[in-house]
Structure 1
Amino acid sequence: MLHINRENLKSSHQLIWFIIDFLMLGLLIINLAFIIWDSIYNFVAIQELLKDHTPALQALYHPIHERFIFYDMIFVSIFLGEFFLRWGYSVKASIYDRWYFYPFIHWYDLVGCIPVGSLRFLRVLRVISIVYRLHQYKIIDVTNTKTYRFVNFYYEAFMEELSDRIVLKVLSGVQQEVKRGSPLFDKIQQDILYPRRAMLSDWISMRVAEAAQEGYVPNRGALRSYLEDRVDNALKQNLELSRLKYLPVVGPTIQETLEEAVGDIVAHVIHQILEDLASASNHAFIEDIVNVFLPTPGEVEADEAQNEALINLIIEILDAVKEQVRVKYWREELP
């Protein structure tokens, strides 16, 4: 059921225009019903049926049918009057940048006023525009109506089915391209990634330095203690090292000194690696790694087995995506 928010209607500064909207909405509904009825009455079979069962109604309406254009023009004159009134107001209020923009933006109002065949049904667009305007200003709320929920549900279902079919078609095409050995990946590597190899090295180097700086430096002491503790436990479990304590006099001292030395060396090495990664000196190391993954075109020939494995991996990933796309979420909302 469509409810009118009277408070918003009264507090609105465009009350007069909303009243005109409601009047025009009623006239449009009456006019469209008149057009539909006259189109149905236009069939001879309908006229004969009415003549046989309701001759009074047929005799009353038949003269109206013969002068249908005249009666329709009465509605058209009202619609055109309202159109020019709003056009004049838009010019006075400078709603649009140019005075002649209004008829182009509201073209459906003009075209719907042409009293020719199917063009009359463009007046439905005028109904929709009025309802949308009232909804936009919160005078009415169409989202609470059963009609809106019904139409919106099947619209969303249609769009999901349509988009799913398009996505599946595109993914299937990508799979076929991959199976045929499409040069796409070579183009990406040679024409896009390789020319930007220096930029990628700089970016990765910067990100690694930031990650090491933010992650390691504040936790340096805790990491060192953890490494020393892990190394100490590992050395205590080593049988060869545990035998040193059986040496007379100096055995336990040697064992303890060795454990401390190894722990300190491991912690120092890890510390030095992370310090290097956290500084600008990591650039050469990162650049070497990038060069391994993005060699100069023609420098290294790809292995066929690796290519085949990569193609199969991509196809399996696309199959998984297609399976997910096939899920129909709109069916879960069916009552």
Structure 2
Amino acid sequence: MLRINRENLKSSHQMFWFLVDFLMLGLLIINLAFIIWDSIYNFIAVQNLLKDYLPAVQTAYNPVHERFIFYDMIFVSIFLTEFVIRWGYSVKAKVYDRWYFYPFIHWYDLVGCIPIGSFRFLRVLRIISIGYRLQQYKIIDFTNTKIYRFLAFYFDAFMEELSDRIVIKVLTGVQHEIEQGSPLFDRIQNDILYPRREMLSDWISDRVAQAAQQGYMPNRGALRAYLEHRVDNALKQNLELSRLKYLPVVGPTIQDTLENAVGDIVANVIHQILNDLASSTNHAFIEDIVNVLLPDPNTTEEEDSNQEALITLIYEIIDAIKGQVRVKHWRKNLP
């Protein structure tokens, strides 16, 4: 339900102008209703219908219809008077840098006052501007009304449908350009990524170290136990190793020793690798990987195969983005 916040109205120090806004809002609604009714009455069929069923209404309103311009000019004169008063106040209060800025900024007020045909319906812009000003000062909150939520929902749905189609069209064009050998790919690789290889290496190195520290260090005991368990199961399923237990006296001992040694070696190797990744020593390793992925543009060795693989990767990434764009999020909010 639409309510007036009286506290904000009093604290705004513009109570007089807001009261004028409410008065103008009421006059505008009455004026637009009068214009709409007169436009409907202008049809001969409506006049005949009223003459047959409501002759008193037709007799009373017909003189008003004949002098419609006169009555409409009464409203126009009120609107223009209010416009001039506000203009004078803006000049006195120095609201704008120049005295003549006001009519250009509030052009919709003047255009709506033109008493010609469809220009009259532009007075609805004045209603919108008054409503926006009242909403901006939190005198009235339109966002809690059912009409606003209804219109906002379908406006968001329309904008999502429109933007999705535009994005998909653009991404499809990018894919087409990549297939046709667009220089965009070379510019991304040679002009953007290659000059920043060192920065990429530092960033990836830091991210890998952070991920290893947060993911491995707190769980290294559990990971070691898991690796030893998996290695132990794998060795027990090995046919050659299982035959050792048939050796007299030392067979079972050798089998257990090998199982423990292999499990310990695997766990230690994994532990050392993850420790290296979690420290600053991983930078050289990451830098080598980045250098392989972003080779010197002057080097032509395996350039075609690498470029084709990277183009395929980019193409698939764009396909994935298009698939996500096609998801209609607004449908999830349907009642």
TM over 0.5: yes
1:24 offset after TM fit, Å?
A: 0.7
Which residue does the alignment assign to 2:246? Answer: 246
1:283 offset after TM fit, Å?
A: 1.4
Any residues of structure 2 matched to 1:1-335 within 5 Å, and which? 3-5=2-4, 13=12, 14-34=14-34, 60-61=63-64, 64-65=67-68, 68=69, 72-87=72-87, 96=95, 98=97, 100=99, 102-114=102-114, 119-137=119-137, 139-142=139-142, 148=148, 151-152=151-152, 155-297=155-297, 298-303=300-305, 307=308, 311=312, 314=315, 318=319, 321=322, 325=326, 329=330, 333=334
- Distance in 1 (alpha carbons) for counterparts of 2:8 and 2:156: 31
Larger displacement relative to structure 2 (256-265 or 277-286): 256-265
2:181 aligned partner, one-letter code:
G
- Distance in 2 (alpha carbons) for counterparts of 1:143 and 1:73: 34
Normalised to the residue count of structure 2, the TM-score between the two structures is 0.74
Contact 1:175/1:315 (<8 A) preserved: no
Contact 1:232/1:263 (<8 A) preserved: yes
- Alignment partner of 2:304: what SS? coil
Compared CA separation, residues 245 and 172, structure 1 to 2 (3 A): closer
Residue deviations 1:81-136 (CA, integer Å, cap 9, x gap): 32344455556777x47474654443322443455665544322111112233344
2:303 aligned partner, one-letter code:
E
1:316 offset after TM fit, Å?
A: 9.5
1:331 offset after TM fit, Å?
A: 11
Contact 2:4/2:140 (<8 A) preserved: yes
- Distance in 1 (alpha carbons) for counterparts of 2:309 and 2:264: 47
Residue deviations 1:262-321 (CA, integer Å, cap 9, x gap): 2222222112211211222211111111122222223323239x8389559827963983
Compared CA separation, residues 32 and 321, structure 1 to 2 (3 A): same
- Alignment partner of 1:18: what SS? helix
- Distance in 2 (alpha carbons) for counterparts of 1:234 and 1:323: 42
Contact 1:8/1:138 (<8 A) preserved: no
- Distance in 2 (alpha carbons) for counterparts of 1:326 and 1:213: 36
Unaligned runs of 5+ in 2: none
Compared CA separation, residues 158 and 262, structure 1 to 2 (3 A): closer
Larger displacement relative to structure 2 (118-127 or 143-152): 143-152
Compared CA separation, residues 180 and 5, structure 1 to 2 (3 A): same
- Distance in 1 (alpha carbons) for counterparts of 2:259 and 2:153: 71
Compared CA separation, residues 256 and 161, structure 1 to 2 (3 A): closer
CA RMSD of aligned residues (A): 4.3
2:186 aligned partner, one-letter code:
D
